[in-house]
Chain A
Amino acid sequence: MTDTKPLLELRNVSTHYGAIQILRGVDVEIRRGEVVCLLGGNASGKTTMLKTILGYVVPTQGDVVLDGRRITGLPTQRLVGLGVSMVPENRRLFKRMTVRENLELGCYLRQDSGEIAKDFERVFTLFPKVKQRLSQRAGTLSGGEQQMVAMARALMARPKLLLMDEPSMGLAPVLVEQNFDIIREVNQQGTTVFVVEQNARMALSIADRGYVLQTGKIVLADTAERLMSNPRMQEAYLGKL
């Protein structure tokens, strides 16, 4: 299922906030069809890496390459058209708009109404609860439901690459597990997933490969299995069992 050709590449990327360096020459490669996770503690630069891919932050060095095309510094609003969508940290739904309006914004740039209708159906099969809540204001949903809507909204763009920032944050353990099951399902339907997580065990359980980021540098990069059994990982992120 995994293709060897990289869908997204970060080549020696550095970013700064003002004079402070956040990412220090990072190399990441995400191949078509993979689930790749990025692990790391607080302030290690995980979110910054996503922001860099999405163009919120322009790297001070290096390149971001999507599907062989250099997208470094491209304005954020162009990315979704190129097939990259995001499930932001803390969901960040348009809370005062209805669930339907949220989903419609997910496919804001698309014109193919027939295909959009199909994607609505696909999203409803993945998240039956979302269908029940269509006319409800997104802000009135529970955290778990909001997470579903956020994912549904991202999928409505029919992305090649789905970026997820801390999907487990603020959710009860049962919901986290459910969430990751769905991520795997989305991946099996053909979407490449790049997930940023603090919950290393959970993320590695569904990922093909993982990267570990520490103070802006990739310190470990390996397959999920090997990371799971790596003693350094166990000590730092997984806790001893």
Chain B
Amino acid sequence: MTATGELAAIDFVPAPKAGPRAIRLGLVGGAVAVFVSVNGMVEAFSGRLLLGSLALGEALLLSVPLLIGYLAGRPEPVLEGFTARRPGWRNVLAGLVAGLASGVTLALFVVLVASFDIRGVFLNATPELVRDGPRILTFGLELGAGLGLLLGLYVALGGAGGVLQVLPGRFRRAVLTALGWVAGLALMQPAVAQVLRGIQQELRIWTAPLTDFLYDASGALSVPGIATIAAAAFCLQLLASRQHRKPVRTRLEQLPDRSRRILRVAILAAVLLLLGLLPQVIGPFLSEVLNIAGIFLLMALGLNIVVGFAGLLDLGYVAFFAVGAYTTALLTSPQSSVGVGWVFWLAVPFVILAAAVSGLMVGTPVLRMRGDYLAIVTLGFGEIARLLFISDWLKPWFGGAQGIIQVGDISLGPVQIRTPEAFFYVLFVFVLLAAYATYALQDSRIGRAWMAMREDEAVAEAMGVNIVTAKLSAFIVGAVLAGFGGALFATKIGSVFPHSFNVIVSITVLVVIIVGGMASVPGVVLGTLVLVGLPELLREFEEYRFLIYGALLIFMMLKRPEGFIPSGRRAEELHEQEVAQDEWLVAGAPETGATDADRDEPN
């Protein structure tokens, strides 16, 4: 008790907790492996070959122990005042144990499926998994040998995951980068091959040899291909993380003003040129994928304003999408009840008007509602909109379940926009507009008012913020962006049907902005590409789309509630709430007065 002020570093190693943790993680991994097997994912994904004869299904199964081993081998956090344990065999052992625990769990499941018919409950637990035909879970071997191989692979991969933790940081990152590139190129084979083909056709750059080098005839990565990619990614990452190397950003900032400006213009020109060539290069299928993603992106940018900026949780957002689509259909289709058959651009002002009015109609009654209540009421509004469009009552206008067909194409002068490639350009302009509007609003007076309102409505009011106009304007801006999305959707599909506008659309858009990063434009863009674009690309995932959304949401809420690319402010907000909740749990937390005094002292 001599020197209370300073804590000498105590040479004390915390009691080992790695063992139970490894087993716990291993069991979680085992549960995941069993789950993806029993719900049919492994089987559904076994059609796509990734590397040689390794199919996506098996790769999914084998990625589990690697990941779990990696997590289990993670060194414990270093506590202040304690000496850190050097990474070593313990980390590898933890990986091995976790891999074993996962393997045993999965092996038990294999035995279960082999011995009993559980298809009465688990439809996808077919004998094909272990007994007849491809026998995916036992790698085509007899049960005994297959189980042995399974356990062996799981332990080995778990250990490999642990080994990654022992590597010095630079090498670990390089290995992970290499793994990521191989996995990405294997998974994205159709897209990559298409892009390479497009480059050859459009830019006359001979890429066919590269394609043949990278991929087998079956579409799997070839062995020399993997080796090259992995080696290249590994070396590049290693070089990039060299010590004493300044990050690109700092180096950019050190450039003289003039060259920085030139560089910025050059980059902008390059990006625009690239985007201009993009649809031609990637071909109609990938352009279509981007178009679908782009329409969702328009909606996501709109909802981002409502939820991210103004903090109004709107679960009926699809209503505005539907209003935009139906307005376009009514005005441009010669078959519709209005039957004027206008060109698309004439309909746009009416789309804006209709969306704004519907924004007002939803916004006005919910002015006094917040949080959960607002979410529930808007959910109801979304359904009401869909039911109105499908109803017999309004059938003379909206065509009921038959919808409206022959929606007009977009025309630019004499050119009709019919191909996905051409449509991409139009969509791109709308998305740019939406992104620009988002940035402009963020820094505007009304943006400030939205943020203040999100943080504390009553106080914002006392500052002179008119809550009514702030809320309604958020609803209107959001509605108009969704209306644009709907208008483009209608003309792209060429018809509108009420069943396109169910609650799942609202949920998807919300998930996109939550996972991507609320109130952050880059986050929303990334979220849309990953959550809407990827499933369109990887058709196998379609069936499991919402399962993956769900898993991703749970993961994000636990590990990264601010989203992939958060806006600085929002991230803090979420973590703060969590800290506030946790603080409450800390026994004997000092009362506010005391903390204030303590914290004020050092100043």
Contact = CB atoms under 8 A, between A and B. Distances in A.
Interface of A: 54, 56, 75-81, 85-86, 88, 92, 94-97, 101, 104-106, 108-109, 129, 137, 139, 142-145, 153, 157, 170-172, 174-175
Interface of B: 445, 448-449, 451-452, 455-456, 458-467, 569-570, 572-573, 576, 591-597, 599-600, 603
A109 B596 contact: no
B574 to A, nearest CB: 10
Contacts of A97: 451-452, 455, 569
A235 to B, nearest CB: 25
Contacts of A95: 455, 573, 576
Nearest to B603: A129
Contacts of B573: 95-96
23 contacts: A76-B458, A76-B462, A77-B465, A79-B462, A80-B463, A88-B458, A92-B459, A94-B452, A94-B459, A96-B576, A97-B451, A108-B445, A108-B452, A108-B463, A109-B464, A139-B576, A142-B600, A143-B592, A143-B593, A143-B599, A145-B600, A153-B463, A170-B593
A98 to B, nearest CB: 9
Contact of B456 (A78, A92, A143, A145): A92
Contacts of B462: 54, 76-77, 79-80, 85-86, 88
A105 B599 contact: no
B225 to A, nearest CB: 48
B576 A105 contact: no
Contact of B596 (A104, A129, A170): A170
Contacts of B458: 56, 76, 88, 92
Contacts of B569: 96-97, 137
Contacts of A172: 593-594, 596-597, 600
Contact of A76 (B461, B596, B597): B461
A150 B592 CA distance: 17
A202 B220 CA distance: 79
Given A76-B458, A139-B572, A170-B593, 13 more contacts: A75-B461, A77-B462, A77-B463, A80-B464, A92-B456, A94-B460, A105-B460, A108-B445, A108-B448, A108-B463, A142-B600, A143-B592, A170-B592
Contacts of A86: 462
A77 B462 CA distance: 5
Given A96-B572, A144-B596, A171-B596, A77 B603 contact: no
Residue of B455, B465, B466, B569 most packed against chain A (CB within 10 A):
B455
Contacts of B449: 108
A212 B460 CA distance: 29
Residue of B449, B452, B459, B597 most packed against chain A (CB within 10 A):
B459
A101 B465 CA distance: 14
B598 to A, nearest CB: 8
Nearest to B572: A96
A88 to B, nearest CB: 6
A164 to B, nearest CB: 13
Given A95-B455, A137-B572, A104 B448 contact: yes
A54 B449 CA distance: 19
A218 B464 CA distance: 30
The 9 closest A-B pairs by CB, nearest first: A143-B596, A172-B597, A142-B599, A170-B592, A109-B464, A80-B464, A76-B461, A94-B455, A96-B573
B600 to A, nearest CB: 5
A75 B445 CA distance: 20
Given A56-B458, A94-B455, A108 B576 contact: no
Nearest to B591: A170
A49 to B, nearest CB: 15
A121 B591 CA distance: 34
B464 A77 contact: yes
Nearest to A139: B576
A95 B459 CA distance: 12
A120 to B, nearest CB: 16
Residue of B448, B464, B569, B570 most packed against chain A (CB within 10 A):
B464
A81 B600 contact: no
A131 B471 CA distance: 32
B457 to A, nearest CB: 10
